[in-house]
Structure 1
Amino acid sequence: MRGDAPIVVHRPSSTGGRRVTARGQILGLAYDDADLIEFLRRAGLPAGDELLDDEAWVEWRGGQAHRYDVP
């Protein structure tokens, strides 16, 4: 189901943080899970730790889930 998730957490940037989009709209640059949850809450989406690991909702691209720095 890859590519169908409405929320995408993009690869870590070279300066840290990950761009977050919801259905193609940029929500912001997250530096940790708390930032990500806040972006989802502000967008009116269900926000909680359990949602972040639900592949139907969130796709983590180009890096390990829950990691926001460049390896």
Structure 2
Amino acid sequence: MSAPTVVHSLSPTGGRRGTINGQIFGLAHDDRDLVEFMRRAGLDDVWDLLDDPHWIEWCGRRAHRYEAP
């Protein structure tokens, strides 16, 4: 089973598109954005889940990196 939240590769201008259960939630520019998107999707207290591969799959560049290459 894959993680319900996927943080995709960096966009050319910075930020990372994310999906929750296959639905695009937006473009995150930092972990705060990601946490807010997850909160709006009904998940609470997600700060502890950011490094849990059962909850979040980080694609492309390292986790927690949002700046353009």
**Does TM, scored on the shorter chain, surpass 0.5?**
yes
Partner Cα separation in structure 1 for residue 46 and residue 22 of structure 2 = 21
Supply the AA of the counterpart residue of 2:8: H
Q: Which residue of 2 aligns with 1:43?
A: 41
RMSD: 1.2
Unaligned runs of 5+ in 1: none
Percent identity, aligned pairs only, is: 62
Aligned length: 69
Runs of 4+ in 1 over 2 A off after TM superposition: none
Q: Give the CA deviation at 1:69.
A: 1.4
* In 1: Cα distance, 2:27 partner to 2:46 partner: 18
Normalised by the length of structure 2, the TM-score is 0.92
> Would you say the 8 A contact 1:38–1:47 is kept in 2?
no
**Counterpart AA for 2:19:** T
1:5 correspondence with 2:3: yes
CA apart distance, 1:50:
1.1
